[in-house]
Structure 1
Amino acid sequence: MSQSAAVAPVELRGLATRFGQTWVHRQLDLRVEAGEVLALVGGSGTGKTTLLRQMVGLLHPAEGSVLLFGEPLQQGSRADQTRRRQRMGMLFQHGALFSAFNVFDNIAFPLREAGVRDEGLIADLVHLKLAMVELAPEVAGRMPAELSGGMIKRAALARALALEPELLLLDEPTAGLDPDLSAGFVRLIQALHRRLGLTVVLVTHDLDTLAALASQVAVLADGRILARAPLEEILTVPDPFIQRFFLSDRSQVALARGRGNR
């Protein structure tokens, strides 16, 4: 089967998002192919994170549809919808760990919600996910308030990977991290992408992160996808936002630095 005929992990068809009288997206189409790392970029207020929330099912489209692995995300029985959602994981911008749970129970939460009842198996899986994100076993007993920013990101990523998803959504994965921690987190995502064969969709404004991770870039403007292509092709699109975002001297330095980390 050719790639064009293959089922896409996520596809948006004619998607529209509205809050009250404000339309955020109108007739938006986007297809993410298996194995891609697609970066969503756009100006402030263009609905990048909102688009991720549509993909994960936290929002319902006003028009159009979200397909997950070829199936409408919002259709079918509750069991059908749950099964689809278990094929993806999401890392929220600030981690969104449950403050009343320690790290172990945060990572165990999706396993228990999925019906895993063997606590020995849960413990093995939690410690496996901690190792995957390069956190020491003793971190499992800590509360979120006891973690550094980098550790929160890694613990939240471990939770996002708990059910071994095929699709991973990342909202500003390196926001709030200093350059060294950011570079380390990018290397971790690169390694997980290769090792697990993940399809990744990320929202980022950080050009180092984008250049290091993304195989494709989709530019969001005026409620639709303005351009979607590899980074080098995006740089040639004669659009004012693209010129400002990517082609300033400062941006060019960041892109060169990011390319060096691929």
Structure 2
Amino acid sequence: MNAPVEIRGLGRRFGRQWVMRGVDLTVGRGELLALVGGSGCGKTTLLRQLAGLLEPSEGTIKLFGEPLTEGSRSERQGRQRRLGVLFQHGALFSALSVFDNIAFPLRELRLLPEAEIRDLVFAKLGMVELEPDVAWRMPAELSGGMIKRVALARALSLDPELLLLDEPTAGLDPDRSAGFVSLILGLHRALGLTVVFVTHDLDTLAALASSVAVLADGRILAKGQLDEIVNVDHPFIERFFRSERSLHALKRGGGR
């Protein structure tokens, strides 16, 4: 069975500056993979390449055994329908209602008649634990936590198998952050999702991740379970995982 994500020799540069080079990473079915690294190391750039929003400068990305950027337009669209993306700040269309934001991918791909789209939008709102009347609100009327949930509902609108999350709990207070992590874990179990998420928050990482990949020095420095990663000898890992504050956070989360 093909892995949901297989990256080999991936490189990306902006002008003459290489952000990453020689990146190798495999994500197995059902993994909850946390991608961590220092500021500016390329975590979001890697996620955007996985989502097909940025072209790699070199190397290959395969989703479910198929090259991400090859084939006809319909083949590429079919591949990308198998993944959903939650952007850091939600990236909702400010001029569209919640309903229209969630319906947008379905309408764009002309997959269903409008009556079925309506039913599906309300089903997705229920999946992210929002009441039906939220559908008629505008993004400006939503709290930060509700924006995250609406954006997650939109990411789930095409019933993806792979979910990409960029800083899923950024900007949320501890209670809302814990609630959002619990929601993702429930959806992971119920839908059999594979999840790749970028985070700098150790509470989120400890509560959500089944494995961790560390992006440092322009490559994947290490990948494994949290207790393995913590013991890797590298300055970033020392700073990120082994400070007193970090150890307290990891102890609170308890890992998975």
Q: TM-score, normalised by structure 1?
A: 0.96
1:205-230 per-residue CA deviation (whole Å, 9 max, x = no partner) reads 00000001111100001110000000
Q: Which amino acid aligns with 1:118?
A: P
Rounded Cα–Cα distance in structure 2 between residues aligned with 1:57 and 1:81: 9
Secondary structure (helix, strand or coil) at the match of 2:251 reads helix
Structure 2's unaligned 5+ residue stretches are: none
Matched, 1:28 2:40: no
Amino acid of the structure 1 residue aligned with 2:110: G
Partner letter of residue 16 of structure 1?
A: G
Question: CA separation in 1, counterparts of 2:97 and 2:65?
Answer: 36
1:161 corresponds to 2:161: no
Question: Aligned partners of 1:214, 1:50: CA distance in 2, in Å?
Answer: 20
Matched, 1:237 2:236: no
| Residue 18 (1) aligns with residue 13 (2) | yes
Residues 1:49 and 2:44 are matched in the alignment: yes
Give the structure 2 partner of residue 3 of structure 1. none
Question: How far apart are residue 151 of structure 1 and its match?
Answer: 0.2
Contact 1:54 1:60 in 2 (8 A): yes
Report how far residue 257 of structure 1 moved. Answer: 1.6
Aligned equivalents of 1:44 and 1:14: distance in 2? 22
Paired position in structure 2 for 1:176 = 171
How much has 1:116 moved relative to structure 2?
A: 2.7
1:182 and 1:196 mapped to 2: Cα distance?
21
Does the residue aligned with 2:241 lie in a helix, a strand or coil?
A: helix
Deviations 1:162-204 (CA, angstroms, capped at 9, x unpaired): 0000000000000000000000000000000001000000000
1:173 maps to a residue whose letter is: P
1:97 aligns with 2:56: no
Query: How many residue pairs align between the two structures?
Result: 256
1:252 maps to 2:247: yes
> In structure 2, what is the Cα distance between the partners aligned to 1:176 and 1:131?
23
Counterpart for residue 222 of structure 2: 227
Q: Secondary structure at the match of 2:232?
A: coil
Measure the CA separation in 1 of the matches of 2:30 and 2:58.
28
User: CA 1:182–1:144 in 2, change beyond 3 Å: closer, same or farther?
Assistant: same
Structure 1 spans left out of the alignment, 5+ residues? 1-5
Shift of 1:112: 1.1
The structure 1 residue matched to 2:189, chosen from 158, 183, 194, is: 194
Equivalent-residue separation in structure 2 for 1:105 and 1:258 (angstroms):
36
1:76 counterpart SS class: coil
- Output one character per residue of 1:70-102: Cα deviation in whole Å (capped at 9) or x when no partner: 111100111110000000000000000011110
Aligned to 2:82: 87
| SS of corresponding position for 1:169 | strand
1:128 equivalent in structure 2: 123
Cα root mean square deviation, aligned? 0.9
Secondary structure at the residue paired with 2:165? strand
Task: Give yes or no for contact 1:91–1:160 (8 Å, CA) kept in 2.
Answer: yes
Q: Which residue of 1 aligns with 2:64?
A: 69
Using the alignment, how far apart are the partners of 1:72 and 1:22 within structure 2? 25
Normalised to the residue count of structure 2, the TM-score between the two structures is: 0.98
